[in-house]
Structure 1
Amino acid sequence: MIDPFGDARVEGVSIRSLPKVSLHDHLDGGLRPDTIVELADAAGIDLPETDPTRLAAWFGRQSEAGSLEKYLETFAVTTAVMQTREGLTRVAREFVEDLAEDGVIYGEVRWAPEQHLQGGLTLEEAVEAVQEGIEEGEDAADDAGRSIRVGQLLTALRHNGRSADIARLAVDFRDEGVVGFDLAGPEEGFPASGHREAIDIVSGAFLPTTIHAGEGAGLDSIRSALLDGRALRLGHGVRIAEDLDVVAREGEEVRVRFGDLARWVRDREIPLELSPSSNLQTGAIAAWGKQLDDHPFDLLYQLGFAVTVNTDNRLMSRTSLTRELAQLVAAFGYGLDDLETFQLNAAAAAFLPIEEREELIELIGEGF
């Protein structure tokens, strides 16, 4: 995939060369187009396009529909080629290799094991296959002179009724590559409060949780993620800006009245896993505009929220972490200090022991 921001620089420094942390990146949203074509051909799966370049363009077009529901439809193609141990392992290995090439030194890959059982795999076999691929990718990156570590976030789909099973699976594999639990899928009509058993399971085992909220739905979804879901991070969370009332603008200064929820999220430094390109494509920022510079990212950053920068789905958004950062630089005039802050926020929010987070923070400081 051609990345138009691959050589982007800020203050004369290559953004790709800077050490980065990726917290919100879906496995089934990060496949290489040529891998999809090869795996589909071997499995006899029909694709909308059989040329990798045209297939990549198809994903891009489908993802520009402006709604989360339309955006999610593209995953039927990627998950179809991820139903075997070999397919899952290859996709996971390449996923890690691509992160390392983008300068990522720590990443968390989220994926829903329940979507990968059509070929006869068990939930446990699927997790083992992905972990095998992750470790192969880490070794390949190390051989290429790039150090990276990647942990799994097991995702339960909030509309499928298997969240308790996935919670137990996550706890069972916490010492074998799994670092946390996630809830994803349609927010409207499926609040975190409907998954009390799953949340009790992971919370009782002290396994950290991040929940998709504030993307496809607003403040009530965020409130439920925090109060019912006991989320330590918000997957996207961009619509927390709906709880901010801009009362005056004086030059570059903005006076804002906080709602109770927004103040809680800001004051408790609850990390926001913002994904600028994806937020634009899914309509998550429709209330503020239709261009990247309409994104409330900068408002949230200037107000002191714990913002992090993520890709969400690299294939669908045709992006990379380098590209997301470059677009923010172009939109808001950020410099190296700002980009370093975003990475430090992400390192502090990683689902790792504090000693390992401190090591990440030190590596980021050295790299910048």
Structure 2
Amino acid sequence: MNRATLIQGLPKVDLHTHLAGTMSAETLRELADKAGLSVPDNVYQIESADDFLAKLNLVVEVLKGPDDFELITYEYLSRAARSSNLRHCELSFNPTLFPRQQYPDILAAIRRSAESARREFGISSLLIPSICRDQGAGVAEEFLDLVLAHRESDIAGIGLDGDELAAPPEQFVDVFRRAGQAGLKRTAHVTYPPASRVLYCVDELGCDRIDHGYYVLEDPKEAQTVADRQIPLTVCYSITCKSRGWNLESHPIGPMLAHDFNLSLGTDDEAFVATDIGNEYVKVCEGYDLSMEEVGVLLHAGVNISWADEGRKAELHSEIDVALAAATTGSISNE
């Protein structure tokens, strides 16, 4: 079997995907038409990090009701199951971007599709309602109250995303500590220098893992600490190549892998770069010439740093082991 095809079909998790960024171009147009909105033809063509954030705001505008969330959740999960053998995902979404919609209604819609995908494809899902940092700490505090009031077992934790330059993590220490006291897991996007920001989010915000975190490499001492402590990082190859101008030679994922960082691959906002989690694994594993043993380490690391319960983790580890064992007994080609 072709190695890329084999990697595409191995069981996977995706811990870093934003629901609004999963919409296919066709679904985006349909929802825009339904909402009476005009979306530029180039909305999924991004040139920089700022361009991405601006165009993401246009995409978000088409989501006008719970039915829209139900549709895009099911489309994403079913598509990923078929194309990439996705077995577990942790979906981030930003309810405060939809002030005219009720959080419980959005939550119920996403849950309906997650349950449908579980029944049809065996995918497990957890939800990460996320703070849009641009809106400030006051909105974040009110949002946490809402999350806690409607918490069920599928709400694994909270996230922090949006424009990091507009609102650095220092503004959210109190709300993140309160989330931790309530038993929520925590993650935050760290997409800009300084290198110390990764450890700051872990030590001061109490983050259980970090989304991105590439610029920690700018300080060898900070990077070594992150590697030594095996701090979980979810890294996204394609979207950052597009928004940051990186490639295989310049992308931080290369040295992160070389220094045994605790990494899991994610898609981030897959529609903007026409990717899926299977394709991300192929690009990284083939691009950095990982052995099948190293591919297995990466797959298992994703399970380990997920927020799934121990029973589900055991199931996922077993699925990966069985698939890898089958792969090693077959004939693998690089063609």
- Give the structure-1-normalised TM-score: 0.82
In 2, distance between residues paired with 1:130 and 1:116? 14
Q: Deviations over 1:106-138 (max 9, x none)?
A: 001101011123xx3222222222222222333
Considering fraction of residues, name the structure with more helix: 2
- Give the residue type in structure 2 aligned to 1:353: D
Query: 1:68 maps to which residue?
Result: 49
Query: 2:142 maps to which residue?
Result: 165
In 2, distance between residues paired with 1:201 and 1:194? 13
The answer to whether the Cα contact below 8 Å between 2:32 and 2:38 also exists between their aligned partners in 1 is: yes
Matched, 1:95 2:76: yes
The DSSP-based 3-state class of the residue aligned with 2:287 is helix
Shift of 1:86: 0.9
Matched, 1:362 2:323: no
Matched, 1:30 2:7: no
Q: Alignment partner for residue 62 of structure 2, among 67, 70, 81?
A: 81
Shift of 1:189: 4.7
Q: Deviations over 1:199-247 (max 9, x none)?
A: 122101121111101x233324323311221111110111121123xxx
The answer to whether the Cα contact below 8 Å between 1:293 and 1:331 also exists between their aligned partners in 2 is: no
Query: 1:251 maps to which residue?
Result: none
The answer to whether the Cα contact below 8 Å between 2:265 and 2:280 also exists between their aligned partners in 1 is: yes
In 2, distance between residues paired with 1:291 and 1:9? 24
The CA RMSD over aligned residues, in Å, is: 1.9
| Aligned positions, number | 321
Query: 2:9 maps to which residue?
Result: 17
The answer to whether the Cα contact below 8 Å between 2:16 and 2:267 also exists between their aligned partners in 1 is: yes
Q: Alignment partner for residue 108 of structure 1, among 90, 99, 102?
A: 90
Matched, 1:43 2:35: yes
The answer to whether the Cα contact below 8 Å between 1:311 and 1:324 also exists between their aligned partners in 2 is: yes
The DSSP-based 3-state class of the residue aligned with 1:316 is helix
Q: Alignment partner for residue 276 of structure 1, among 237, 241, 250?
A: 237
In 2, distance between residues paired with 1:13 and 1:282? 27
Shift of 1:363: 1.8
- Give the residue type in structure 1 aligned to 2:240: N
- Give the residue type in structure 2 aligned to 1:19: P
The DSSP-based 3-state class of the residue aligned with 1:154 is strand
Query: 1:256 maps to which residue?
Result: none
Query: 2:179 maps to which residue?
Result: 202
Q: Deviations over 1:260-287 (max 9, x none)?
A: x22321122111111011122222xx6x
Q: Alignment partner for residue 227 of structure 1, among 196, 203, 207?
A: 203
The DSSP-based 3-state class of the residue aligned with 1:24 is strand
Distance 1:189 1:121, change over 3 A: closer
In 2, distance between residues paired with 1:263 and 1:194? 26
Q: Alignment partner for residue 287 of structure 2, among 320, 331, 348?
A: 331
The answer to whether the Cα contact below 8 Å between 2:197 and 2:216 also exists between their aligned partners in 1 is: no
Shift of 1:349: 0.3
The DSSP-based 3-state class of the residue aligned with 2:20 is helix
Query: 1:347 maps to which residue?
Result: 303
The DSSP-based 3-state class of the residue aligned with 2:67 is helix
In 1, distance between residues paired with 2:150 and 2:212? 25
Distance 1:262 1:93, change over 3 A: same
Distance 1:89 1:262, change over 3 A: same
Q: Alignment partner for residue 236 of structure 1, among 204, 212, 220?
A: 212
Q: Deviations over 1:38-58 (max 9, x none)?
A: 111112111213xxxxxxxx2
In 2, distance between residues paired with 1:158 and 1:224? 16
- Give the residue type in structure 1 aligned to 2:128: L
Shift of 1:296: 2.3
In 2, distance between residues paired with 1:169 and 1:292? 42
The DSSP-based 3-state class of the residue aligned with 2:189 is strand
- Unpaired runs of 5+ residues, structure 2, are 325-335
Distance 1:158 1:328, change over 3 A: same
- Give the residue type in structure 1 aligned to 2:169: A
- Give the residue type in structure 2 aligned to 1:195: F
Query: 2:126 maps to which residue?
Result: 151
Distance 1:306 1:9, change over 3 A: farther
The DSSP-based 3-state class of the residue aligned with 2:273 is coil
Q: Which runs of 4+ in 1 moved over 6 A?
A: none
- Give the residue type in structure 2 aligned to 1:268: R
- Unpaired runs of 5+ residues, structure 1, are 1-7, 50-57, 245-258
Per chain length, whose mean CA-contact separation is higher, i.e. which structure has more relative contact order (CA < 8 Å, sep 6+)? 2
Q: Deviations over 1:138-168 (max 9, x none)?
A: 33xx2xxx32111111110112022122323
Distance 1:355 1:264, change over 3 A: farther
- Give the residue type in structure 2 aligned to 1:15: I
